[in-house]
């Protein structure tokens, strides 16, 4: 094994004092004013790493990783997982009281607002249902939200839903903005692919809806309608009536 640089000194005096000549493989002389002898520097073409040094480096890296893992685990246990099972009795009693009170308040508000509040006639009804559940969960678990703030949020969601449905029944423009029209996606044995692409419905999803309703084949099915709530309605036979239920269905072109 050779080091990267090795030096040997010759007692031959220099022709020029205070000058060092580096005899290398095709390299120019390197001046050095600190010696009066000829310095011969040999640069070996290859550099090899001793296996012992490489093994010790890997061992040191392994122990460093173990140490970092232990420190991280101690930090998580001390700061994040300290209260994972039980915090204190005050927090538990607070959760019980707020959950019970918030639930009672939401039931009373829903009872006053009527059955339409929790119906799923359109996408807005679905959003209100999710918002009410999220508000009740925030009241129960978030210590930074007082009971009055949570009940106020529930009350506002119910009021907004009541006002919007009240106006949608009486003003056609608001009804058009809030709700969409049902779409015809299948008619008398033929898939309406243009309407299916617009509504992002696949053939497999229609087959799945038919299987859920116990329909083995669509050969004798007259109409399949995508409702405003996202549900699929299958009408097997169309019968002549004065007022058909599919008069408001949007027919894809």
User: 77-132 pLDDT, tens per residue?
Assistant: 666 555 667 778 888 898 899 999 999 998 898 888 887 777 777 777 788 888 89
The pair of structure tokens assigned to 18 is 């205070």
CA distance 164 to 180: 14
CB 31 within 8 A of CB 17: no
- Neighbouring-strand partners of residue 5: 43
The residues spanned by each domain of the chain are 5-43, 52-85, 89-176, 183-251
CA pseudo-torsion sign 142, 146, 148, 149: negative
Q: Tell me the CA distances in angstroms from 220 to 115, 140, 186, 205, 210, one per residue in order.
A: 37, 52, 12, 18, 12
Instruction: Classify residue 39 as left (phi > 0), alpha (psi -120 to 50) or beta.
Output: beta
CA distance 225 to 182: 7
Q: What is the pLDDT of residues 230-241, one digit of tens each?
A: 889 898 887 766
| CATH 3.30.420.310 fits domain 183-251 | no
């Amino acid at each position: 094994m050779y080091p990267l640089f090795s030096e040997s000194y010759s007692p031959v005096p220099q022709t020029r004092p205070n000058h060092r000549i580096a005899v290398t493989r095709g390299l120019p002389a390197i001046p050095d004013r600190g010696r009066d002898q000829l310095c011969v520097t040999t640069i070996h073409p290859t550099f090899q790493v001793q296996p012992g040094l490489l093994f010790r480096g890997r061992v040191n890296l392994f122990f460093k990783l173990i140490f970092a893992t232990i420190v991280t685990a101690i930090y998580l246990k001390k700061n994040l997982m300290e209260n994972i099972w039980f915090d204190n009795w005050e927090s538990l009693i607070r959760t019980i009281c707020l959950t019970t009170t918030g639930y009672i308040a939401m039931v009373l508000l829903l009872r006053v607002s009527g059955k339409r509040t929790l119906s799923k006639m359109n996408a807005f009804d679905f959003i209100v249902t999710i918002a009410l559940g999220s508000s009740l969960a925030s009241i129960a678990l978030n210590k930074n939200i007082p009971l009055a703030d949570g009940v106020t949020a529930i009350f506002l969601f119910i009021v907004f839903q009541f006002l919007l449905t009240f106006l949608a029944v009486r003003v056609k423009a608001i009804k058009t903005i809030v709700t969409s029209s049902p779409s015809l996606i299948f008619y008398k044995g033929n898939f309406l692919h243009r309407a299916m692409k617009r509504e992002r419905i696949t053939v497999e999803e229609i087959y799945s809806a038919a299987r859920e309703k116990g329909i083995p084949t669509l050969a004798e099915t007259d109409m399949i309608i995508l409702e405003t709530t996202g549900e699929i309605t299958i009408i097997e036979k169309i019968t002549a009536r004065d007022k058909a239920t599919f008069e408001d269905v949007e027919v894809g072109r």
